[in-house]
Every structure is written in C-alpha cells, then in structure tokens.
C-alpha cells in the first residue's frame, strides 16, 4: 500500500502538457466530431461529449443520450483524476419484484428487456452538463453541432448498425417508431443507405439552446415518460418527477497498484475498476512477462484470476448509495495475495467461490445478466487533459422504445432479477432510485513517474472488464503497443469453462489451455479504444474488430 500511496502522491504533483490532442471512438463520424472540437480550441471534455452526442445519432444500437455512462477525467494542469457517474436510475415506484413473474420466479431476460419496464431514467445529458461545467472550454451549443448535422442531413448506415437492425427487425411489429427509422417496410436498413432523424435533430437543437433542463422537463420529458408508460410491452411506472429529480454524481475513482503502475477506474455502481484490479493483483506474483503472450499457461493464470474476481463481483458489487461495497477490501493487496494462492499454475480450480474481503458484510451472491453492447471513446487535448468515457443504452437498441427520435435504454435489466437468494437480499436487487450494477470500465493508467500513459475502455457487457484487463496485461506485461494489445485474443468464461476468441491465435491458445482447464474457441467480439503515450506524443488506437478510428488534432 505504501507504494500505491507514493504513486498517487506523485500523480497529484505531476502536471502534464502535450502539444497535440488525439481522439478515438468506435465510429469514424464520432471521431471526426471529437477532432473538430479540438481544432476549435476545445478541451478533451468537449471532444468526448461531442463524440457521445454524435454516437447517439450514428450508433443508436449501442449508446446515446437515451442511456447513461461513466466519465473519467485527468486534469493536465493539476494532475488530479476525477469521475462522474451518469448511470441510469430506477423510477421512484420501482420495487424489488420488478422483474419477478406472477408465479414468483424471475422473468426471462428477453421477456423483461423490450418495452417500458426496463427503461432507467437517462443520465448522459446531466453527466455532460456536469463535465462541461467543470472542464469544458467551448460553448455548450458547439458540442451539439456535429450530431445535429448528422441527424438532420442524414448519415450512412454502417455494417454494425445494419447487423443489429437485421437481428431485431422481425420483433419490431409492436415498436413502430424504431421500425420506421431502422427497418422501414419491415426490412432492416442496408449498409450504405442514408438515414435521417429530424426528431432527434430537433431534440438536440433544443438541448443545445436551452441546456439540460430541456431534456429533463417540459415537452421532451413528457415524450420520454409517455413512450415508457404506454409501451405495448411491460409499460413503465416512470414519472416526470423521476426525470426532474435525476442528478449525475461525482464519485471517487478507484485506484490500485500493479507492478509499479497505478491503474484507476470507476467506482460503484461500476464493477469495472475493482474487478480489473482484483485480476491484476492476483496474477502479480506470476512472471507473466517471461511466459509471454503466446503462452497457454499465462492465459490460464489470467483465466483463473478472472473467475475468482468475477465471483467476488457477483456477491459484493452494487450501487454504493444503497448497499455497503467493501471497495478497499476487494483490492487490498493482502486479500488479493490470499485469493491468488488458490490459483495453480498447471490446473484449474474449477470451483470459483467468492472470498471474504476486509470490511465485507454478510451477503448472498447472485448472477446478473448483461448483454454485449455499449461503446467507449477517449480524448486527450494539447494541455494534457484526458477523458476515458463509456456510454451505453445496454442491449442492441436498448428497450426498443424510441422517444423524440432517440433510443431509450434497457439498463434496469442490469439489476439482478431475483431480489433474494437463500433468504437474504442481494446487493444488486431493484430499489427505487437505485442505479444498476455495471461492467463499464473506463480506465486511466499512470506510470511509475506518476504521469498518465494510457487510457482505455470497451464495449461488451460483462466481458468489458476482461477486455480491459487483457489489454492492460498486453501493454504493461508484454510491452505491446495499445493497438497490438487490443488485437490479442479476447478471453471470457461460462459454466463450461474458458472461452478464447475464435481466431488463429485464440484457437491455438484454447488447445494449449485445455491441458490445464476446460477451454474452447468462441465468438467474443469487442470494441476497445485507447490512447497511449509514446516518445512522439499521444497516439490513439481502435479495435480492429470494429469500424472505430483514431485521429490527431
């Protein structure tokens, strides 16, 4: 711990300045929006928020102002790291049995997703307003200009958007608003087609002109509530008061040490930082660098640490405003050293039970569902300010409900559906005004000199945490560039064992890992974006599995 405190002290005393800004996102149009803000003299925050708004238009299947996000910010002048929680909230009328069927059993996940009941009060606009007030340089309205142009003039449909629409169009007979936009005539919009969204353009214009209250009160708020409460499936109990009461929150970042580096991320209700730090802490006693990136044993060790860390996640993580979360205990080096002793270099543990971290209250574990969607983007400006932000509407096209041209999230299905297990309440049960547990993992890493050297994050539901951890190992242990570390095979698990990305490298690793543990190749896509400090300055990287791009100022 002394090393961690020393590193953090250096962090606070080490302002950073760089001559050129860089942005990266999962869509070229959003990346261009961020670049435009930097070229107008904007900050990293201005660039990140412009990307979030542009993604609302061009990536409606993954993110937008109808959802929420987490915002991690490094101040280049003061050396401070801060974070904002814009996670969606349950309506005041929500109860722990929200997703319990009439027979007393939890609803099926896909039964609960479509319609109003899954919609949380959106948080991204309040998050944007708070971030802009703290760190923005351009006028508020300037951030909206690229998104408004894309919605008004039209944008070209990408392969990811077409793929998501093609997957869901057959289910949209009860959702005419989303069908009209993305599957007119019952057929998904084709890649290369042009989509215009004038209602979304008008909504964005109104928020740009009148500020965040234009979203959370008045006609637009009424439209959101009406769409949620009159949905043909699972009508919601959301009210205008729920929207008016929503606030983004500043949260303390969670930071921990790894091999002399300091890794910082988002605290609860995100499980990202704690779980990433747990995995890194458990593998630190092994010489991962010597084993190398092609070693099945190295990936086996990472897989074992992953499953132990996720076991703790399911038991202890939730909205800290409602439940005690032993953050310090979960990342305590002594606790992680003890957890690590369960990992055997040449054999799988096979049973992965949660531990008892210092400060933990008695609790029952319960599995939470989360589908692989979401988006991530990063920005650094010429003054060394840096943003790592993850934004989401949860599953593909969220709840399938549209209001004022924007897709509304299905974030409330990130709650654990069964409110109790073994007669005791679970940490991530539904409660009024509560924010559901998230896997979003915006991350900033500091070097041994206390200066930032890396920012990253990903899409992918519960796999987000593992995508980020894998990339960190690739950079910090194996000395890879961010681009090459992102391209490493993805790793996850299910009840049958480890899953390695179905690629030539992943298939070879799966065969090797099978000597130690059940492992197989599987489809494990990701959508990582990153910034890395190089001798030549900051450099951006986007996942080769995505259409993402990085651009310099």
Residue pair 66/392 in contact by the 8 Å Cβ criterion: no
**Calpha distance 282→309 (Å, rounded):** 9
Q: Of 84, 111, 64, 79, which is closest to residue 15 (Cα–Cα)?
A: 79
**Calpha distance 30→26 (Å, rounded):** 8
User: Residues near 31 by Cβ (< 8 Å), separated by ≥ 6?
Assistant: 23, 24, 25, 51, 377, 542, 548, 549, 550, 551
b/e code 114-137 from CB counts within 10 Å (16+ = b) = bbbbbbbbbbbbbbbbbbbeebbb
Q: Check 7, 56, 158, 374 and give the catalytic one.
A: 374
b/e code 288-314 from CB counts within 10 Å (16+ = b) = beebebebbbbbbbbbbbbbbbbbbbb
How far from 352 is each of 1, 19, 355, 416, CA to CA, in Å?
Answer: 26, 48, 9, 20
**Calpha distance 519→553 (Å, rounded):** 43
DSSP H/E element including 521? strand 519-522
Q: Report how many helices (DSSP H) and strands (DSSP E) the chain contains, helices first.
A: 20, 22
Is 374 a residue of the active site?
Answer: yes
Instruction: Report the chain's C-alpha Rg in angstroms.
Output: 22
Chain centre to alpha carbon of residue 307: 19
**Calpha distance 290→295 (Å, rounded):** 9
Six token digits for residue 408: 């509304």
**Calpha distance 414→436 (Å, rounded):** 6
Q: Which residues pair with 270 in a beta bridge?
A: 438
DSSP 139: -
Catalytic annotation, residues: 374
């Amino acid at each position: 711990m002394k090393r961690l405190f020393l590193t953090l002290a250096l962090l606070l005393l080490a302002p950073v300045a760089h001559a050129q800004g860089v942005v990266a996102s999962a869509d070229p149009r959003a990346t261009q929006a961020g670049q435009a803000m930097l070229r107008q003299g904007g900050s990293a925050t201005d660039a990140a928020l412009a990307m979030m708004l542009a993604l609302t238009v061009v990536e409606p299947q993954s993110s937008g102002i109808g959802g929420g996000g987490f915002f991690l910010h490094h101040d280049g002048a003061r050396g401070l790291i801060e974070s904002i929680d814009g996670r969606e909230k349950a309506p005041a009328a929500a109860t722990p049995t929200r997703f319990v069927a009439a027979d007393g059993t939890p609803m099926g996940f896909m039964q609960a997703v479509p319609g109003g009941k899954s919609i949380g009060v959106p948080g991204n606009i309040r998050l944007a307003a708070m971030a802009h007030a703290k760190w923005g340089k351009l006028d508020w309205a300037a951030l909206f200009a690229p998104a408004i142009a894309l919605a008004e003039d039209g944008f070209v449909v990408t392969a990811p958007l077409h793929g998501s629409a093609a997957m869901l169009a057959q289910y949209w007979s009860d959702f005419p608003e989303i069908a009209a936009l993305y599957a007119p005539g019952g057929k998904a919009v084709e890649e290369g087609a042009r989509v215009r969204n004038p209602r979304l353009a008008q909504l964005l214009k109104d928020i740009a002109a009148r500020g965040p209250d234009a979203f959370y009160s008045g006609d637009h708020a009424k439209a959101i509530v009406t769409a949620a409460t009159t949905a043909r499936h699972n009508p919601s109990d959301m009210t205008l008061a729920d929207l008016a009461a929503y606030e983004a929150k500043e949260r303390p970042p969670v930071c921990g040490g790894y091999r002399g580096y300091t890794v910082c991320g988002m605290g609860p209700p995100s499980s990202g930082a704690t779980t990433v730090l747990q995995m890194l802490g458990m593998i630190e006693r092994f010489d991962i660098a010597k084993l190398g990136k092609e070693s099945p044993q190295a990936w086996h060790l990472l897989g074992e640490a992953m499953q132990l860390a996720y076991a703790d996640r399911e038991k202890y993580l939730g909205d800290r405003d409602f439940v005690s979360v032993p953050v310090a205990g979960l990342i305590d080096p002594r606790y992680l050293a003890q957890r690590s002793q369960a990992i055997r270099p040449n054999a799988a543990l096979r049973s992965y039970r949660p531990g008892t971290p210092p400060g933990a209250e008695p609790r029952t574990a319960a599995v939470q569902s989360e589908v692989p969607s979401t988006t991530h983007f990063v920005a650094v400006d010429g003054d060394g300010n840096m943003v790592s932000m993850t934004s989401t509407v949860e599953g593909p096209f969220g709840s399938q409900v549209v209001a004022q041209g924007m897709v509304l999230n299905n974030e409330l299905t990130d709650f654990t559906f069964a409110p109790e297990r073994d007669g005791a309440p679970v940490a991530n049960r539904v409660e009024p005004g509560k924010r559901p547990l998230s896997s979003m993992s915006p991350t900033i890493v500091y070097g041994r000199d206390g200066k930032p050297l890396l920012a990253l994050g990903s899409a992918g539901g519960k796999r987000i945490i593992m995508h980020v951890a894998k990339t960190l190992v690739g950079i910090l242990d194996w000395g890879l560039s961010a681009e090459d570390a992102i391209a490493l095979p993805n790793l996850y698990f299910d009840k049958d064992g480890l899953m390695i990305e179905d690629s030539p490298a992943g298939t070879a690793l799966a065969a090797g890992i099978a000597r130690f543990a059940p492992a197989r190749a599987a489809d494990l896509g990701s959508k990582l974006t990153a910034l890395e400090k190089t001798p030549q300055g900051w450099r951006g990287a986007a996942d080769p599995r995505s259409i993402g791009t990085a651009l310099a100022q």
